[in-house]
């Protein structure tokens, strides 16, 4: 199960990077992905005060949010719930 989750997260990361390269403006796409991932991480952390789910803000979660965006945050939430 853990290997499957890692493979799926890797596939999601490859898809996000491929879609950034495919656009005509990859730096703007990277910036928007980083901003949306960071905003999603802080939104999940803010919702952690109301709901029983949260992600700690550290270098790993922040890096995943910046590089993978919202799919990375969702993947980390799924991993946290599953394990």
Q: What is the pLDDT of residues 59-70, one digit of tens each?
A: 989 988 998 889
In this prediction the pTM is 0.76
Return the percentage of the chain with pLDDT > 70, whole number: 99
- Burial of 40 from C-beta contacts in 10 A (0-12 / 13-18 / 19+): buried
The three-state (H, E, C) secondary structure of 1-30, written as one string: CHHHHHHHHHHHHHHHHHHHHHCCCHHHHH
Number of Cβ atoms within 10 Å of the Cβ of 69: 26
Cα–Cα distances (Å) from 7 to 1, 12, 23, 75, in that order, read 10, 9, 25, 11
């Amino acid at each position: 199960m853990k290997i499957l989750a890692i493979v799926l997260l890797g596939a999601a990361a490859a898809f996000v990077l491929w879609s950034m390269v495919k656009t005509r403006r990859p730096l703007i796409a990277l910036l928007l992905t980083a901003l949306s991932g960071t905003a999603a991480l802080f939104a999940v952390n803010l919702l952690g005060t109301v709901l029983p789910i949260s992600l700690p803000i550290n270098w790993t979660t922040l890096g995943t949010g910046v590089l993978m965006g919202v799919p990375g945050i969702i993947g980390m939430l799924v991993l946290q719930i599953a394990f």
